[in-house]
């Protein structure tokens, strides 16, 4: 992967998840301590999916 794409994914994934968390906060009314407890594991699992599992399935040239 090119460096710019990797940097965009590293920055964009937490921002996207934070915006989704803001939408869900309106529905479920999360406490302040619950937001990082949900956001950090979701970010790490998404990083695993994007950088490890998806690349593993692709054929290397």
Number of domains in the chain: 1
pLDDT band at 60 (very low <50, low <70, confident <90, very high): low
- Considering the entire predicted model, what is its pTM? 0.76
Q: What is the pLDDT of residue 53?
A: 85
Largest CA distance in the chain: 48
pLDDT in tens, 33-55: 999 999 999 999 999 999 888 87
Those residues whose C-beta lies under 8 Å from the C-beta of residue 14, and which sit 6 or more positions away, are 39, 43
Percent of the chain whose predicted confidence (pLDDT) is above 90: 67
What average pLDDT does the segment 15-41 reach?
A: 93
User: Domain range for residue 49?
Assistant: 3-57
What average pLDDT does the segment 18-33 reach?
A: 92
């Amino acid at each position: 992967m090119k460096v710019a794409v990797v940097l965009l994914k590293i920055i964009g994934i937490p921002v996207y998840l934070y915006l989704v968390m803001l939408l869900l906060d309106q529905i479920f009314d999360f406490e302040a301590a619950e937001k990082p407890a949900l956001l950090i594991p979701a970010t790490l699992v998404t990083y695993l999916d994007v950088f490890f599992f998806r690349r593993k399935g692709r054929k290397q040239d």
